[in-house]
Amino acid sequence: MTFNQLKIALYATYLTNIYGYKLKQASSSKEKKKIRTEYSKRLLKKLNIEIKVINEEKIPKEGQYLLISNHRTIIDPTIIEVATQNREIFGHWISKKELYDSFFFGLFVKNAGTILLDRESSQMSGFFKDIRKVVKSGDSVYIFPEGTRNQSDEPLGEFKGGAEKIAKMNKIDMLPVFIKNRADKILSDAIKDSSVHRVIEVEFGDLIGYKDTQTSYEDAYKRIFGI
């Protein structure tokens, strides 16, 4: 591990736990969004990574949606937080149990506004009940439909069925987001040398209606972004 890698790791751990405590004290979704955005901007600034948003006008200014995004890096949620910072809509991230139990991310994830997904659980009714509660409150839901980080050379991994099920069960449209520029490579390079300014582009597409049965949501996503 290089000195810069160690410095970034220590800073990220410190920052994540400090903001995890701030989130624990937050009393509203609006306050949590502000804290999550501030955290994301500070972390990306440390990495010297700029987020460029394409088609920001496609992000709804009101209402709610199921945000679906490709997933290559551990900082993808922070990238999306910055990309959506100009909208007041608050999204609850679907988060794996491993992150809840993590020494590095646990405090932050538990208090940031998340929905726990325990894949080892024999009963998923609690998970879908938590989603219904979030939607009923008027908030949105954010998910990575690939289920895990895509570490292949393909631009997109296979989508699981959960996102489409969530959209149809709760009657909310899907907002497609595509994080471009091989963000995994950019992150890796930034951790090694953060003196270089780097840019990650985030593109938004038109809403995919939950009633749309003419094509699968994965095919619709690929068509929107030309994948």
Q: Domain extents for the chain?
A: 3-225
- CATH architecture observed for domain 3-225: 3-Layer(aba) Sandwich (3.40)
Tell me the pTM.
0.94
| Alpha-carbon gap, residue 47 to 148, rounded angstroms | 23
Q: What is the pLDDT of residue 126?
A: 85
Task: Render pLDDT for 85-125 as a digit per residue (tens, 0 to 9).
Answer: 999 999 999 998 888 888 788 899 999 999 998 876 656 78
| Alpha-carbon gap, residue 88 to 104, rounded angstroms | 28
- Tokens for 13, please give them: 């751990």
C-alpha R_g of the chain:
17
- Tokens for 214, please give them: 């003419």
Contact 177, 69 (CB under 8 A): yes
Q: What value does the mean pLDDT of the chain take?
A: 93
Task: Render pLDDT for 15-37 as a digit per residue (tens, 0 to 9).
Answer: 999 999 999 999 999 999 999 99
| Alpha-carbon gap, residue 95 to 81, rounded angstroms | 15
| Alpha-carbon gap, residue 142 to 81, rounded angstroms | 10
